[in-house]
Structures are given as structure tokens and as C-alpha cells.
């Protein structure tokens, strides 16, 4: 997993953080509510890469961006919400 880099793409209303594997892509998608708030709506890890920490890697990148760019994350995605509960140090990045 260490050779994977998280990429980011964003349109007017949606965006995603993703990594590319030989077997496909893993991604964390979001919807843009405003410049100050996004909804993390889905995390999908490519088949065969479950349990490698890729979902957490994607979420950490999103949290870093939230902090540096000044937006908050609404954790609609069950994975993102579960990780939010496990990491109270991330509370500043979330809107619940």
C-alpha cells in the first residue's frame, strides 16, 4: 500500500478521493453543499484490497483538506461515520 498515492478530483457538485490499483480504483466520494460543507457519501475499496487501510488513507486525505481549506465533513457514509467515532481528535473536521 505504501506505493499508492491519493488523487483528488472535483466538479461543481461532486468530488472524490481515489487511488488506482491494477485491479481497479478505490474511492471516497462526496457531494458539495457549500464552500464550507461537504457530504462524505460513499467509500468503496477495490476488490482484493479490503483490509489494507485504503479507506482510512482516503479519509485522512479528506480530513487534511477539510482542515487546510476550511470546510467540514457531514459523515453520511457508514465507514466515514464509524471512523469519526473512533477518532475524537478529528472532531474539528466534522459537522454532525
Retrieve residue 28's grid coordinates.
Answer: 471516497
**Domains located in the chain, CATH noted:** 7-93 (3.40.630.30)
Average pLDDT, rounded, for the chain: 95
Across 31-68, b (16+ Cβ under 10 Å) vs e yields eeeeeeebbbbbbbbbeebeeeebbebbbbbbbebbee
d(CA 26, CA 29): 10
- For the chain, give the percent of residues with pLDDT over 90: 92
pLDDT of residue 67: 98
Over residues 15-19, mean pLDDT: 98
pLDDT of residue 4: 85
Assign 2 a pLDDT band (cuts: 50, 70, 90).
Answer: low
Amino acid at each position: 500500500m505504501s506505493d499508492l498515492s491519493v488523487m483528488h478530483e472535483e466538479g461543481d457538485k461532486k468530488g472524490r478521493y481515489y487511488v488506482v490499483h491494477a485491479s481497479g480504483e478505490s474511492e471516497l466520494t462526496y457531494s458539495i453543499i457549500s464552500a464550507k460543507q461537504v457530504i462524505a457519501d460513499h467509500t468503496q475499496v477495490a476488490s482484493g484490497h479490503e483490509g489494507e487501510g485504503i479507506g482510512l488513507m482516503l479519509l485522512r486525505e479528506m480530513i487534511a483538506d477539510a482542515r487546510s481549506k476550511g470546510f467540514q465533513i457531514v459523515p453520511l457514509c457508514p465507514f466515514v461515520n464509524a471512523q469519526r467515532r473512533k477518532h475524537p481528535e478529528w472532531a474539528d473536521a466534522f459537522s454532525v
